[in-house]
Amino acid sequence: MRIVLKRLLPFFILLLFLLPLTFVHKGELLLWVNTLRTPFWDTFFIRASSLGNAIIVPFALILVLRFKLKWLAIFLMAFAMQVILVLLFKKGFFSGELRPYLYFYRSGMGELIHLVEGVKIRYINSFPSGHTATMFYLVSFFALLSRNTTASWVLMFLGAFVGLSRIYLVQHFFIDVYFGIFFGTVSSIVAYLVVRRFPQKWHAKQIQLNPQNALRQLFNG
């Protein structure tokens, strides 16, 4: 656990720093962020938000395959955990939870929201932010893998920009993003600790990128 605390220190600091904001009325923070709109930030956050799309997971997987299979096990287990957590809350406990635009529209305050042109607005299943959870699962995983403090800070800020983009683009409230950060980070931590606690012989193996060698590594001894 000491290794986790050291490598993910920036993530714990972020969660503690942002925790008081979870007690602010969920609409206030979004309205404040919405006043900061400029053409530059519109473009910036549209691109930042795309990093949280699950489509980047297969590309990250290609990088993970260059390391020992222990890291592949952690990567896949963490991915499964964050998906289950997001779906459990988004489609289960908080199914139908209004997203910002519809929330303000039904409250008679729709005119206060300024949308970014070209961004498709969703209306329900707001909690938690799936984009943020996916991104923080990835950045926290690679922070554990990197063993470098500077890299951990860079990865944390990269994830934070994705989370902020979801508020800026009027897709989620702050509370949705906060728990996206939490669920994504916790998924990587739990997967890492489980794999370390229950080591397997195949964890020490490494897949060769040559397809023929990769199959031999997987199915022989």
> What would the pLDDT profile of 158-187 be if each residue is shown by its tens digit?
999 999 999 999 999 999 999 999 999 999
Instruction: Judge whether 185 and 141 are in contact, CB under 8 Å.
Output: no
Q: Rounded CA gap, 4 and 140, in Å?
A: 10
- Domain boundaries, given as residue ranges, for the chain: 2-219
Beta bridge partners of residue 68, listed in sequence order: 206
Closest CA to 94 of 102, 106, 86, 104: 86
Say what the pLDDT of residue 212 is: 47
Say what the pLDDT of residue 221 is: 43
pLDDT bin (cut points 50, 70, 90) of residue 79 is: very high
Q: Rounded CA gap, 179 and 136, in Å?
A: 10
Q: Rounded CA gap, 216 and 155, in Å?
A: 34
CA R_g for the chain? 19
Residue 67, H or E segment: none
Choice between 112 and 131, residue whose per-residue pLDDT is larger: 131
Task: Find the farthest-apart pair of alpha carbons in the chain and give their distance in angstroms, rounded.
Answer: 66
**Residue 2 contacts by C-beta under 8 Å, 6 or more apart in sequence?**
none
The CATH architecture of the domain made up of 2-219 is Up-down Bundle (1.20)
Q: What's at 211, amino acid-wise?
A: P
Q: What is the pTM of this model?
A: 0.89
Choice between 69 and 220, residue whose per-residue pLDDT is larger: 69
Beta bridge partners of residue 206, listed in sequence order: 68
